[in-house]
Structure 1
């Protein structure tokens, strides 16, 4: 077994080492740096990453680290160190502390005496032992090292007590990288920001190909005018872009915020009954807490709306009088449509009866705000007309 590291040995580099370390992997992290990570791939193509996997030996304190290839980025001046482990190796973790558990870190590490003064010039698979504690934390990853696995070592653990419980004690920390311009298969690094607009990654969690737009990862393809699926777009890219929200509501980006693309028809109602004896249309009803039932709406692009309105009415102690209800539409202080009997709903009788109708109102100014007010009257000043369950609704019309 040889752990190869390209352009590191002071005594020269063999052709075999050159073959092992000519990886061509340099996912950019800046103009003169790349990400550290492991080259993806498995022999059968079923998994994203197979290299430098760790498998614990049941009942022991040992584990097997499988062969694989990686790149470890140093400082800007150091450059990136390609590393290749060409055969599986066994690593041994120290027995657990008698009182407290600890967390160890398995890492792939490069020592370069020219930069770190360590007196060593080599690449190693290394266990960084944590400190036992009641609430243990993982040790800090050393400089020029790539974390592979985090291993929890319970108190009192040893080969004689059954070893490390491998199925519950390890956390995979490996991350991926590919050559510049390649599509990165995401593995433990989905939230890492992109390096340049136009960079791509395949997000295993979402199952989508994503493109870095300079600010965030955006699902691709994202055709101009297309509706972005739920969870793929946080900030709109242009005014007029649409997305499907997590609540199943179609939204439109207005340049600064997402707004509902389909506005429900405005609706207003009152269940507080009241009466009037006025023979001219009035908004006020006696014994009702609602001073005036109003409904604000914005004229659509067609300049026309359908006014839906109605009420439950009766004429007290009279079968000859009539109760009338109709909306009045205003724009600011200007009456656009006055309440009148031509398009009202009406009822005469001593028993409550519900009536409703629809009226088309056109010649409105698109995008302008209007107000509809429910108006009421009696045909006879001597007859009290009651109104209940009053409602108004406005929807766009052709």
Structure 2
């Protein structure tokens, strides 16, 4: 039959039917194949004697041929494994594997899962791991040193297990392609999502937000709003969830009209805030360029301002330092005349962080 079900027909369900149908619950790597591997945390190795060890309980999936299916294996108690003694002719590498023996497919005369040792070839230098037979899942590679009276289980064992998970589960490893769009894996330091399609790739999830440019509005608390004119601005922001980071730089130009209002300047935020945590979202440098005319000439000056959110959609800048040239400017929010009479070329540079009203 080409269409199979399990626990459905009153008679005639075969082991192959069961394997193929229940593999629908496993992580797929093909139309009829599943990702083999060890369920995380299982089948650990523990040294037992000179050339003996134990494979501890755990669960695994051994994927065989497409039509033979995936075998679900459970080791319920410690399994003792014995390796051959060392040789005076050199060292070797032995593989410990979980093997499927199934007589209809391999003429083994058996129907079982078994933990086996695949003994490597002895070599004076550079012994190689033996190839793993079909229908096996690698567990460990053990180096048996030349003329050794025992195996140093703390240093001679190399882990060859690789993890798997149920369908939709997050596989805790990298180094393999996904099978369907929306599949996830934990590559060690980040969560990744498979994009799907023949040219699919793993992308960091959630996808990192890009920095975006924004143009701040410029208003006053009351009175006539300033006119930016030919000011230049270089302002960027990025939002992660409810957190917004931004940079702010404006340089006033020759046609900038500061107006005569001496009420607080307000600069628009890139996205609306909750208007909480408002007292200090960042700091800005205030730069006043030298004014050579009319006489008497005025030198350049600098100060530092604290950015404060005073409304959901804007921030104000409160002078929080003395001026570089030692003047005593007083305390207040910057405006057209404070901490100096602003002019062409003056600029403000700063950065801040605040809580957005809605998540990105």
Normalised by the length of structure 2, the TM-score is 0.51
| Distance in 2, Cα, partners of 1:241 & 1:166 | 54
SS in 1 for 2:105: helix
Instruction: Return the alpha-carbon distance in structure 2 between the equivalents of residues 395 and 212 of structure 1.
Output: 49
Q: Deviations over 1:11-40 (max 9, x none)?
A: x999xxx9xxx8985111112111111123
Query: Which residue matches 1:131?
Result: 121
Q: Which has the larger radius of gyration?
A: 1
How much does 1:99 deviate?
2.1
Unaligned stretches of 5+ in structure 1?
A: 1-11, 41-48, 228-239, 244-261, 263-299, 306-341, 343-355, 358-393
Do structure 1's residue 97 and structure 2's residue 97 form an aligned pair?
A: no
Aligned partners of 1:170, 1:395: CA distance in 2, in Å? Answer: 67
**What does 1:187-206 correspond to in 2, within 5 Å?**
189-203=173-187, 205-206=188-189
Structure 1 residues 65 and 115: CA distance shift in structure 2, 3 A: same
**Structure 2 contact 23–70 (Cα < 8 Å) conserved:** no
- In structure 2, the residue matched to 1:331 is none
Aligned positions of 1:210-289 closer than 5 A: 210-213=192-195, 214-220=200-206, 222=207, 225=210
Alignment of 1:357-396 (within 5 A): none
Equivalent-residue separation in structure 1 for 2:104 and 2:54 (angstroms): 31
Partner of 1:180: 167
Q: 1:29 to 1:99 in 2, by over 3 A?
A: same
Tell me by how many angstroms 1:303 deviates.
Answer: 11
Give the 3 Å change call, closer, same or farther, for CA 226–196 of structure 1 in structure 2: farther
Separation in 2, partners of 1:241, 1:112 = 61
Q: CA RMSD in A?
A: 4.5
What is the rounded CA distance, in whole Å, between the counterparts of 1:107 and 1:34 in structure 2? 18
- 1:70 Cα deviation (Å)? 1.0
Please show how residues 25-40 of structure 1 align to structure 2 within 5 Å: 26-40=26-40
2:131 & 2:117 partners in 1: Cα distance?
A: 12
Asked if structure 1 preserves the Cα contact closer than 8 Å seen for 2:192 and 2:202, the reply is: no
Deviations 1:302-351 (A, max 9, x none): 9979xxxxxxxxxxxxxxxxxxxxxxxxxxxxxxxxxxxx9xxxxxxxxx
Following superposition, the deviation at residue 395 of structure 1 comes to 12
**Does 1:110 pair with 2:100?**
yes
Residue deviations 1:28-82, cap 9 Å, x none?
1112111111123xxxxxxxx13x1111125x10001112211100111111111
Contact 2:26 2:166 in 1 (8 A): yes
Q: In the alignment, what sits opposite 1:140?
A: 131
Contact 2:252 2:346 in 1 (8 A): no
Distance 1:132 1:396, change over 3 A: farther
Match of 1:169 in 2: 156
Relative distance call for 1:127 and 1:88 in structure 2 (3 A) is same
* Residues in 1 aligned to 2:25 and 2:147: alpha-carbon distance in whole angstroms: 42
Compared CA separation, residues 395 and 303, structure 1 to 2 (3 A): closer
| Count of residue pairs brought into register by the alignment | 227
Gaps of 5+ in 2: 1-12, 213-235, 240-246, 255-292, 294-298, 301-344, 350-360
Shift of residue 217, structure 1, vs aligned partner? 3.9
Contact 1:200 1:211 in 2 (8 A): yes
1:38-53 mapped onto 2 (5 Å cutoff) = 38-40=38-40, 49-50=41-42, 52-53=43-44
Query: Of the candidates 52, 56, 63, which is equivalent to residue 53 of structure 2?
Result: 63
